[in-house]
């Protein structure tokens, strides 16, 4: 109550002036340093331990100190503002933490492995406990399977999205949307089992890179449909009407106005889809067969792939295999990153000016 009164009397006092009291410069960093110091002191005397505990404790201390100081000096609104923005920054850092630690760990463990030899040799005739060998066969497999998946998925997904946004009305469109949503949630092992049942057991084909690509297609189509649909919906209706009013047929309006306008977003969606399926492991376990040799033919004979290779090598007891798994993990991350960079530059070239 007393605080409230103090607050309102300050408001009255400042009623004629636009300026109000603010924390002097350097207060916030000062409080930060003080909080760290106090926490260090506490941790050295009291029976607390651990670096993580220290970070959390000093962070909390800082949050309390900053909010209290701000409340006393600047008033309620500023205190709430500072508290909220500290909270937002903290949660951002927490969200970033696992990502950074994954990248850091893979870089640290894998960078020694990835070299010319590792990237250009297969595992053929390399014993499990031998050093050496490489991931060339797996990279070939991953890239080929990714390519086949993209070749099937992208046209299919784009056409479905165009149908849903530009043509679809009524029951059919609603059920397509519903099933696309359902398919987004299909566990990848189920997609793998489905293709295994249909392609291998029913039709009697061998396990191959193509069979794996079919399962990956089931996983990729819904995500690309979803993102493309959102991007197409963002294209203002005015542009479609402007084209119609110029006597441009609908199909040409879609092809030359709507899709180019949405293209950067569509490309981003496709890249996210590729990045998702390229790291998928479960369907590969069922459908790829797996091999130590290089196989450029996705239709004939077993292939390897990076996720499968990582799974295989990481499960072995000897350190050489585990090192190879780290190297392959790094290569997989790099491939996804390079694909992303390429897509971003393509998107930039085609962006809406």
As measured in angstroms, the least distance from the Cβ of 167 to another protein is 11
DSSP state of 185: T
Site string for another protein, 8-47 (x = CB under 8 A): ----------------------------------------
d(CA 89, CA 81): 12
Return the residue of 56, 244, 334, 348 that touches another protein, per CB under 8 A. 244
Strand ranges inside 111-206, DSSP E: none
176 close to 160: Cβ distance less than 8 angstroms: yes
Contacts of residue 279, defined as CB under 8 A and 6 or more positions apart, other chains included, come to 306, 307, 332, 336
Return the residue of 45, 52, 245, 349 that touches another protein, per CB under 8 A. 245
Segment 124-130 long-range contacts (CB within 8 Å, at least 24 positions apart): 124/292, 124/293, 124/294, 125/292, 126/292, 128/316, 128/318, 128/321, 129/318, 129/320, 129/321, 130/320
- Between 105 and 252, CB nearer to another protein: 252
- Between 55 and 239, CB nearer to another protein: 239
* 346 binds another protein, rule: CB under 8 A: no
- The count of other CB atoms within 10 Å of the CB of residue 164 is 22
* 52 binds another protein, rule: CB under 8 A: no
- The count of other CB atoms within 10 Å of the CB of residue 342 is 12
295 close to 302: Cβ distance less than 8 angstroms: yes
What value, to the nearest 5°, has the Cα angle with vertex 172 and ends 169 and 175? 115
Return the residue of 77, 89, 252, 348 that touches another protein, per CB under 8 A. 252
* 260 binds another protein, rule: CB under 8 A: yes
As measured in angstroms, the least distance from the Cβ of 239 to another protein is 6
Number of residues near another protein (by CB under 8 A):
24
- The count of other CB atoms within 10 Å of the CB of residue 208 is 23
Residues numbered 142 to 201 that lie near another protein (CB under 8 A) are: 169
Return the residue of 122, 223, 261, 295 that touches another protein, per CB under 8 A. 261
What is the Cα Rg of the chain in Å? 28
* 127 binds another protein, rule: CB under 8 A: no
The span of 9-17, 87-95, 131-139, 245-253 binding another protein (CB under 8 A) equals 245-253
Return the residue of 242, 338, 341, 342 that touches another protein, per CB under 8 A. 242
- Beta bridge partners, 289, equal 303
* 105 binds another protein, rule: CB under 8 A: no
Return the residue of 42, 248, 314, 322 that touches another protein, per CB under 8 A. 248
Q: Which two tokens stand for residue 115?
A: 């070299």
Return the residue of 174, 233, 256, 348 that touches another protein, per CB under 8 A. 256
- The count of other CB atoms within 10 Å of the CB of residue 107 is 14
d(CA 332, CA 113): 13
- Between 116 and 238, CB nearer to another protein: 238
- Between 17 and 237, CB nearer to another protein: 237
* 61 binds another protein, rule: CB under 8 A: no
- Between 39 and 243, CB nearer to another protein: 243
Footprint of another protein (CB under 8 A)? 169, 236, 238-249, 252-253, 256-257, 260-261, 263, 350, 352-353
């Amino acid at each position: 109550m007393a605080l409230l009164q103090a607050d309102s009397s300050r408001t009255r006092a400042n009623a004629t002036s636009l300026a109000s009291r603010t924390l002097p410069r350097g207060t916030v960093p000062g409080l930060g340093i003080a909080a760290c110091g106090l926490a260090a002191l506490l941790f050295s005397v009291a029976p607390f331990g651990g670096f993580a505990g220290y970070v959390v404790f000093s962070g909390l201390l800082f949050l309390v100190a900053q909010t209290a100081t701000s409340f006393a000096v600047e008033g309620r609104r500023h205190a709430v503002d500072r508290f909220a923005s500290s909270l937002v920054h903290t949660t951002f850092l927490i969200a970033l933490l696992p990502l950074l630690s994954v990248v850091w760990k893979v870089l640290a463990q894998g960078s020694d492995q990835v070299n010319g030899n590792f990237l250009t040799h297969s595992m053929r005739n390399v014993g499990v406990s031998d050093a050496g060998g490489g991931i060339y066969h797996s990279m070939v497999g991953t890239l080929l399977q990714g390519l086949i998946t993209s070749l099937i998925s992208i046209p299919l997904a784009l056409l479905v999205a165009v149908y849903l946004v530009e043509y679809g009305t009524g029951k059919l469109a609603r059920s397509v949307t519903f099933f696309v949503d359902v398919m987004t949630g299909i566990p990848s092992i189920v997609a793998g089992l489905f293709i295994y049942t249909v392609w291998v057991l029913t039709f009697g084909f061998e396990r191959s890179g193509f069979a794996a690509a079919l399962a990956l297609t089931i996983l990729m189509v819904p995500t690309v449909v979803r993102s493309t649909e959102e991007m197409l919906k963002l294209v203002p209706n005015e542009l479609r009407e402007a084209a119609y009013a110029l006597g441009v047929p609908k199909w040409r309006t879609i092809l030359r106005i709507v899709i180019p306008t949405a293209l950067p977003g569509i490309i981003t969606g496709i890249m996210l889809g590729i990045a998702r399926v390229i790291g998928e492991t479960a369907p590969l376990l069922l459908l790829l067969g797996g091999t130590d040799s290089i196989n450029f033919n996705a239709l004939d004979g077993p292939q390897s792939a990076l996720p499968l290779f990582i799974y295989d090598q990481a499960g072995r007891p000897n350190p050489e295999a585990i090192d190879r798994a780290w190297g392959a993990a790094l290569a997989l991350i790099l491939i996804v990153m390079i694909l992303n960079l390429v897509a971003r530059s393509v998107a930039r070239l085609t962006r809406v000016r």
